[in-house]
A = this chain, B = another copy of it.
Amino acid sequence: MSTRPYGRLRRQTNELFNPKTGGRIGHYIDWFIMSLIAANVAAVILETVDALGTAYADFFYWFELFSVVVFSIEYIARIWSAVDDSEYQGPITGRLKFASRPLLIIDLLAILPFYLTIGGVQGELRFLRALRLVRLFRLLKLARYSSAMQAFGAVIRQKKEKLVIAVFANGLLLVIASSVMYYIEHQHQPEAFSSIPAAFWWGVATLTTVGYGDVHPITPLGKFVGAIVAVLGIGLFALPASILASGFIEQAAAAGDDDGPTYCPHCGEKLE
């Protein structure tokens, strides 16, 4: 390990970004970046409210600039100091290997759109507006800090096979229900049920029990089939939720994580 100022700074930077060696300052940096991400999302949301978007246009612009600068520094610092990690040695190859990790690619995607819009890419306005939406991807940067997201991902991976079964069965029901309904209702509602893909809109609204009411069968046969589909939908479309829930429960048991202290159901007091 280098002991020159340059090398020491790089090593300290590397340690700062590692949860195990970051210490208090690393912890503060984490919280600062998480807060900045939350504030960025809030800004993207509030900017679309006309009254706010025009009145505080300057503020939103400078806040965006500030955020991009911070995220850029963070990105460069992570790449630069990566070589102090034994896994990523070699000034070029090590850093490239590090930069191609999913979390680092998300970091890049969070700042790249800004540079594209100012750096000569003179696209259409529509394209630029789409890039604004991409700023919401900064939310994904939270994945690094949030153990919750990782627990969620773990459950999905563990229950993958069962989820695939449930999703496949649901897809089958959706295709069959929508197709049958198309053949029944097409002649009576040529607009709402113009094609099978259009009938999918009714199928999803019914099977998920959202039921906006903009499309629904009007013939007696269509209502009869629709009723059966709605009943089947409850049984099938609730399955993925149940599977995910059972995954969370099993995982807690497996990890010996017994959800903290138990509380008495009668008085609400902690049980020893």
Evaluate contact between B216 and A212: CB separation under 8 angstroms: yes
- A42 to B194 CA separation, bound complex (whole angstroms): 16
Say yes or no for A101: interface residue by CB 8 A criterion.
no
Q: Is the CB of A133 within 8 A of B180?
A: yes
Q: What 1/0 mask marks residues of chain A from 4 to 17 whose CB sits below 8 Å from any chain B CB? A: 00000000000000
Closest chain B residue to A162, Cβ basis: B248
Q: Are B152 and A169 in contact (CB under 8 A)?
A: yes
Q: Is A73 an interface residue (CB 8 A)?
A: no
> What residues on B are CB-neighbors of A133 within 8 Å?
179-180, 183
Chain B residues positioned under 8 Å from A260 (CB to CB):
158, 160-161
Interface size bracket, A side:
35 or more
- Measured CB to CB, the nearest residue on chain B to A206 is B210
Contact A175-B212, Cβ < 8 Å, known A146-B168, A246-B249, A268-B154:
no
Q: How far is the CA of A123 from the CA of B55 in the complex (A)?
A: 33
Q: Check if A254 is an interface residue, CB within 8 A of chain B.
A: yes
Q: Which residues from B are CB-within-8-Å of A239?
A: 241, 244-245, 248
Interface string of A222-235 (1 = CB under 8 A from B): 01001100110111
Interface stretch among A62-70, A113-121, A195-203? A195-203
Contact B242 A150 (CB under 8 A): no
Instruction: Tell whether, in the assembled complex, residue B196 and residue A44 are in contact, meaning their CB atoms are under 8 Å apart.
Output: yes
A214 partner residues in chain B, CB cutoff 8 A: 213, 216
User: Distance in Å from the Cβ of A11 to the closest Cβ of chain B?
Assistant: 24
Residues of chain B within 8 A (CB-CB) of A208 are: 209, 230-231, 233-234
Asked if A49 is an interface residue, CB under 8 A from chain B, the answer is yes
In angstroms, Cα B1 to Cα A23, docked, is 55
Q: Which residues from chain A sit less than 8 Å from chain B, CB to CB? A: 41, 44-46, 48-50, 129-130, 133, 136, 139, 146-155, 157-162, 164-165, 168-170, 172, 175-176, 179-180, 182-183, 186, 194-198, 200-201, 204-206, 208-214, 216, 223, 226-227, 230-231, 233-252, 254-255, 257, 259-268, 271
For this complex, 18 residue pairs linking A to B, each with C-beta atoms less than 8 Å apart, are A41-B175, A46-B196, A48-B197, A49-B195, A147-B265, A148-B165, A153-B268, A158-B259, A158-B262, A205-B227, A208-B209, A208-B233, A208-B234, A211-B211, A231-B237, A239-B245, A245-B246, A255-B271
